[in-house]
Amino acid sequence: MPPGVTTNMIPGNRPEDAAEEAFWELLATKLDEAKITAIALDKPAPSANSVSVDDLWDTTEFVKIIQIARDIGHQMGYYEGQNEQSMADAYFEMEIDEVMRDWLEEHPQAFAKAYLAKLGQVVSDMKRRNRD
C-alpha cells in the first residue's frame, strides 16, 4: 500500500461502505420477514423485463418495500445520533475528570465530602455552560 494510505481509504473498506452494505443486508432481511418475494402488478408491463415505477406505486408490496427502507433509514439515523451523544457524554466526563484531577492536586488532603461537593459544583457548572 502506498505511504499514507490506510485500508479505510480503499473503496469497499470505508466505514460508509460498511454502513451501506449493512443497510442492504438489513433491507433484504426485512423483506424476507415481510414475506415479499415478488411484486404482482395490477397493470400489464410494457415488457416482461421492465416495470414502470409509476405502476409500482399502485402496488401494496412496493409501498411496503419503501416503508421498510424508510424505517431502516430512520433507525440507522437514530443509532448515529446515539453514537454522537455517547461521544459527547464521554467528552463531558473527560472534562470533569480533568478539572477534578487538577483540584485534587491543589487539595491533596481533601476528604471525600469536600471532593464530592466540588464534583457536584463542577458538574452543575459544566451542564449550565453547555446549555448556554
Instruction: Please check whether residue 30 lies inside any domain of the structure.
Output: yes
> Is residue 44 domain-resident?
no
Number of domains in the chain: 1
Domain range for 69 is 19-36+53-131
Residue 98 included in any domain: yes
Q: Is residue 5 in some structural domain?
A: no
pLDDT digits (tens, 9 = 90+) for 11-26: 766 677 777 788 778 8
Counting other chains too, the contacts that 33-41 makes at CB distance below 8 Å and 24 or more residues apart are 34/64, 34/68, 36/61, 36/64, 36/65
- Whether residue 39 contacts residue 59, with contact meaning beta carbons closer than 8 Å, is answered with yes
Question: pLDDT for 44-66, tens place per residue?
Answer: 666 666 666 667 767 788 778 88
Residue 11, SS3?
coil
32, amino acid identity: D
Confidence (pLDDT) at 41: 62
Q: How far are the Cα atoms of 2, 7, 57, 96, 98 from residue 53, in angstroms, in the given order? A: 45, 38, 6, 55, 58
Supply the pTM of this predicted model: 0.41
Measure the CA–CA gap between 85 and 121, rounded to whole angstroms: 23
Q: Is 96 part of any domain? A: yes
Q: Compute CA 99 distance to the chain's CA centroid, rounded to the nearest angstrom.
A: 30
Would you say residue 118 lies in a domain? yes
Identify whether 65 is part of a domain.
Answer: yes
In a domain, 8, yes or no: no
